[in-house]
Amino acid sequence: MQSHLLKGKSPTYGPVTTLLVEYGIARLRKGHTGQIIEPLAFLSLMRWLQDKGHLSLEANLRSRLGNESERGNAFEEVVNLYLLRALRNPVRFSTIFNFRCRPSWADEKAHITARRGGYDVAVDVLGKTPQNPRLSVVNYASSIEDIIEWLYKPDNTAALLVPSHLFGPDVMARCLTSSNRTVLLMGQFKSYTSGNEETLDAETVAKAVISLHPDHWFKQAAVCF
């Protein structure tokens, strides 16, 4: 996100809200598309909000998770935040994922990466010593073209990709292992409050797995909302 702000471009994760326009930080462009025009003011506002306990990121997520109409999106944002934090330093995949079908790379150490100059580079804007902070951490893809660009564009790509709800996977993440192998993670976000003690019900799991298969991408009927 920071790279988009510093280059005067709109953040690609979600829309620019009307409040940012009202505050004078964003400006409406053609097609009523918001664009951040004061990146330093925006970042300063975000830091100020984070220092206020009741307005911080944690407080915002907790409030939205308790709101029935917003808990779905808030849950996805929590998982995205977890992936960015859990994988910002090299860690074994098996320590953060419970594999049902164990892949060959399950015990390899890996960290989440973005793309810069044709190479996978570490990205961390959440820790005390940020790595490559000019690279954005999350991009939103509204079309197949946006997804292809994220997959193959050699420069300035975000660590996480959040596709539209029609795609199938809810998130895509690029990781680099200790053996210098690139692993592309794709996942479906699901939560449950009843049913089996340790897993989702069989029907929900089946729909989620089906939606991750390329044969069902961009087929709305095959995606579990």
What tens digit of pLDDT does each residue of 102-137 get? 888 899 999 999 888 888 888 876 666 667 766 667
Cα end-to-end span (Å), the chain: 26
125 vs 3, 29, 131, 137, 194, CA distance in Å? 11, 28, 7, 8, 36
Token duo for residue 153: 């564009």
Enter the pTM of the model.
0.71
Instruction: Please tell me whether residue 86 adopts helix, strand or coil conformation.
Output: helix
Q: Are 75 and 65 in contact (CB under 8 A)?
A: yes
d(CA 72, CA 62): 12
pLDDT of residue 95: 93
Rounded to an integer, the average pLDDT of 179-188 is 89
**Alpha-carbon dihedral 95, 99, 101, 102, rounded to 10 degrees:** 0
Q: Phi, psi (5° rounding) for residue 207?
A: -65, -40
pLDDT of 11 over the 60 cut: no
Q: Are 140 and 73 in contact (CB under 8 A)?
A: no
Q: Which residues pair with 163 in a beta bridge?
A: 141
Q: Which residues pair with 172 in a beta bridge?
A: 161, 186
pLDDT of residue 221: 42
Of 11-20, 44-53, 119-128, 151-160, which range is least confident?
11-20
pLDDT of 225 over the 60 cut: no
Say how many CA atoms lie within 13 Å of 135 toward its Cβ: 23
